[in-house]
Chains A and B, each alone.
Chain A
């Protein structure tokens, strides 16, 4: 369901996605206001220094994971939380199924969590006989339609209101109007019933605070908070790199996350869940579980790619990426799209098909410029290209072509001549130029700058 890697290439998937005209318009329509809003929001602020702090807090956390995770676990246990350790996706799924079955649960509600997409949790819960309902509006649509999210923040950025209307009308058994307000109200009714009936609520974690043993959830809809409030069991799925040392760190990381993700100072709901219901509190879960998931992360610790673990999943690098903006999230073949997906997927997924994703970039560096925690995505993509092409053979023709290029561009006269001839070559594409221009428009600027 979440896996379209096998037997496809980035190119074949891109061709498929480029044929969807709505998506190519919908992405800029949705993300451009966010990018513009980000710059407006930070206009009176020292965004560069905040990003430095964000980079240092996240970089420090990732470099000190054993110590900080141990502190987090101790603090969670002191708070009455049961902590579980999952080495891989299969173990994580088994742990959640076993918590649900021990609790005698039948119905599960879920808040949005990219980690649960990674580990493909829902099919495992359904196979165990549990009824699972995604409660984020976008994720609910994705679930009803057997689709996949295509953007970290906006899961159904690729879907039209007409498609949502058709889908919800099918569920309702009556024709609903194509009005976002009415469609959202319909979903609210369905989901509220699910919340009130649920035995278990499963959330992700935006941050896990080691100092206090708190799971921080950032949502606008409020489904994250209802997930932690109404069911009698709360399970938080936490990627082990989500840890941050101090509660105070949220004063830096929250505005960086919400500013970059949705151009908001803070989201409507920022929830800190630090344990099950206490004596004297009127509601809340009887049990709280935290499932810490490795899922390929420990292999990145200590490698050339360590900095990618600083990611706070804001989606800003997708919004700005010229490749993502054309092909959308599904072309990347797995859970994450855009520059962050091009780096994470080859690291998390062993398949040969995943290894080419470093190529899904024009190396323009726009992702470096926008990343709120200054992950050098552009360098990581180059490192990935280098690593994944090690041992590759280069044909004699290619080697000759590059030797000629190197000679030509070292000589001003030949360089000028080549610049004159290039537009001509693009018009009459032969050989490699034909393959290059098959999917791209080549535009040469005129005049001097």
Chain B
């Protein structure tokens, strides 16, 4: 599943224009990449000095946009520009970036209109350099150098405790883990991640905790260590999510853990929420969520709607699951077996094979329910035949399977052992029970909850409405004062 689940945090909606400080948005494409990087550095500097975390996240988004165009000479030139040449970081990083001969620095750098200069020695800038080099190295598939760079940055981060660095640190952690995932050495960094998570908790760095918890869960689940993952998850401190992408990931991992541990109802909830909250661009992630959600619904004895399989861009990926759903819906063991065999390689690759094995029981149940609805009385021999139970003693098997289904409430029937048949009971009138009321309540609760979540998710750019309001307020106040004065004057008049 590897890169499927990689979801870029950069795909958030564009920042409102109000935050434009030295806005690189306005830059023309004629500007060189280096110039862009310098602009970004100044955004970071501004963010660092004014302690505004938002600006730093904006800088990261701008960097990701530049990612494709990064070239070695841009990176080295930027390092020379941003870091004091005598610093540790410069010495370490400049070695990692490959030297490119031939092309000199762009000529227009000197000639650009805005000459940006930044203060040296800001930790934010230093960490940003690490991040930039790391991204560059990963994109150029230099994994060993990336690992070096990531480890060095982690060592440096351990000595920093600034809220404005946290945002950059989170991205560094993610890439750190990503590099190790690409080289399949995730197990080695588990200890480091745990230490970092503890550190983030002690520093009350909630963003860091969130990111690191997800990375740890991903790390554990990569090796199917569901037990450890659940133990960590249930004991890690929880708080309101800061980043919706991280929250999505968390929900997905949580859904997976719960599915394995047979808590299907909760699992369905988490997986569907993750699929809904994920940004549209994160297609791979949404496909994964949907795959799991489909299986969980089937395990719950529900049949997912057809529209789920027809979502844009997912049709091909979900085909095996569509056929599987069909087999479960019909309740045909033979067909189920055929589908499971046909797509066994897909299911193994998705690591859902063990869940598919669990489904066999649901296929039988559905088949049995269909039989019980269609016949008021049917012999156990026929049931065994219809369910295609293949065993030497299929009638006895059918009898005990029916008995268990009755006990679990899947069908409403009784068995006549002496005559060897099953008698279905008349279905009662559902509307004479409390069932409709309960269903109604759960639906309303769902809608109201959705509304509340939506309200909570609204974002207001800070301060932008304040000025407007104060102007309005002043007018209002003046008006009120005026009225009061008038009123008093009238009163005065009345006295006479």
Tell whether A pairs with B: no
Binding site for B on A (CB under 8 A): none
Binding site for A on B (CB under 8 A): none
